[in-house]
Homo-oligomer: A and B are copies of this chain.
């Protein structure tokens, strides 16, 4: 293994000069810097992370806690976190709580000691998690807390736009298949729906109730949607929409001719569904990147590359309509 010593000797300088040449190039004479970097190249020196971290007290990694890596939503989030962190020279430790909130505190306390900060995606029990964090900076994703920075998707706006799309197609009775009652993001969606409902005359929004945010949830809601007299249904997310599609197909209902269906999140699921789902694109990767950026600032690291700074304590991400094959004008009565 090549160490600072080897480089120093070969370059005829002291180890601190080498160290500086690498981490604070402007504090070293140009000529020296060049000589040092040349030797570094030649010898193939790579800094020993453990040593530098031990000394500096930093770990060079961020932790990311997700409920399930196999869920495309969180896979995308992880991808965003990963790419931004890599750019910033940090690594990402991913902890998968396996949808089990009871694992979270344990996972977290493990992560906390191995990272400079943690990004919490949809933690179930923030209070419990909070205890073990012990001063480590944390960023919440799609959740909020007075003491913590956070990043979230603008689900309210998402629903306003979804309704606008359906309304423009001519729908006047729209059903909503809700997600977990206690979920903050379901609340946001409902707020958006209300806003949209109030905005347009002669538009009715039907609340079908709370369902599991998975394919099963949609399957459970499908017949309710059919019976409601709605000509369009908005689902809590893409998976729920897929569940709707499944049962509707089984009932011989033609989507979109007889019933329009919208998903939310634009995950892979919306592209895989048949028909492909009209959905609201939310920039989940962007959320991951934004979370890393926030962490970087919070911890006083340089955000790099002249990006716009995310100084805000809370950042809301924009959404976008994606029209595919599952929505159309309602059939004339």
A-side interface residues toward B, CB under 8 Å? Answer: 46, 48-51, 53-54, 59, 61, 68-70, 72, 75-76, 78-79, 82-83, 86, 91-96, 98, 113-114, 215, 239, 242, 245-246, 249, 268-269, 271-276
CA distance A188 to B286 in the complex (A): 38
Nearest residue (CB) in B for A47 is: B113
Which residues on the B side are within 8 Å of A271 (C-beta)? 215
Q: A54-B50, A94-B92 are in contact. Are A70 and B268 (CB under 8 A)?
A: yes
Nearest residue (CB) in B for A284 is: B70
Nearest residue (CB) in B for A275 is: B249
Q: A215-B271, A272-B215 are in contact. Are A79 and B72 (CB under 8 A)?
A: no
Which residues on the B side are within 8 Å of A245 (C-beta)? 274
Are A70 and B70 neighbours in the complex by a CB distance under 8 Å? Answer: no
* A/B interface sample: 10 pairs, CB < 8 A: A48-B113, A49-B59, A51-B54, A69-B78, A72-B268, A79-B96, A83-B96, A268-B268, A273-B274, A274-B274
Nearest residue (CB) in B for A69 is: B79
Highest count of chain B CB atoms <10 Å: which of A69, A113, A215, A276: A69
Are A93 and B91 neighbours in the complex by a CB distance under 8 Å? Answer: yes
Nearest residue (CB) in B for A113 is: B46
Highest count of chain B CB atoms <10 Å: which of A46, A51, A59, A272: A272
Are B275 and A272 neighbours in the complex by a CB distance under 8 Å? Answer: no
Are B69 and A75 neighbours in the complex by a CB distance under 8 Å? Answer: yes
Are A76 and B70 neighbours in the complex by a CB distance under 8 Å? Answer: yes
Which residues on the B side are within 8 Å of A242 (C-beta)? 272, 274
Question: Within the complex, what minimum Cβ distance (angstroms) separates A92 from chain B?
Answer: 7
Are A114 and B95 neighbours in the complex by a CB distance under 8 Å? Answer: no
Q: A114-B49, A273-B274, A275-B249 are in contact. Are A86 and B95 (CB under 8 A)?
A: yes
CA distance A74 to B16 in the complex (A): 43
Are A72 and B69 neighbours in the complex by a CB distance under 8 Å? Answer: no
CA distance A187 to B320 in the complex (A): 41
Which residues on the B side are within 8 Å of A92 (C-beta)? 93-94
Question: Within the complex, what minimum Cβ distance (angstroms) separates A42 from chain B?
Answer: 16
The one of B50, B79, B273 that contacts A70, using a Cβ cutoff of 8 Å:
B79
Are A82 and B96 neighbours in the complex by a CB distance under 8 Å? Answer: yes
Nearest residue (CB) in B for A79 is: B69
Nearest residue (CB) in B for A247 is: B274
CA distance A8 to B271 in the complex (A): 59
Add 17 more A-B contacts to A78-B94, A246-B274 (CB < 8 A). A49-B113, A50-B54, A51-B54, A69-B75, A69-B78, A70-B79, A70-B268, A72-B72, A79-B96, A82-B94, A82-B96, A83-B98, A86-B95, A92-B93, A239-B272, A242-B274, A273-B274
CA distance A237 to B277 in the complex (A): 21
Which residues on the B side are within 8 Å of A113 (C-beta)? 46, 48-49
CA distance A128 to B245 in the complex (A): 46
Question: Within the complex, what minimum Cβ distance (angstroms) separates A236 from chain B?
Answer: 15
Are A249 and B268 neighbours in the complex by a CB distance under 8 Å? Answer: no
Question: Within the complex, what minimum Cβ distance (angstroms) separates A143 from chain B?
Answer: 22
CA distance A27 to B72 in the complex (A): 47
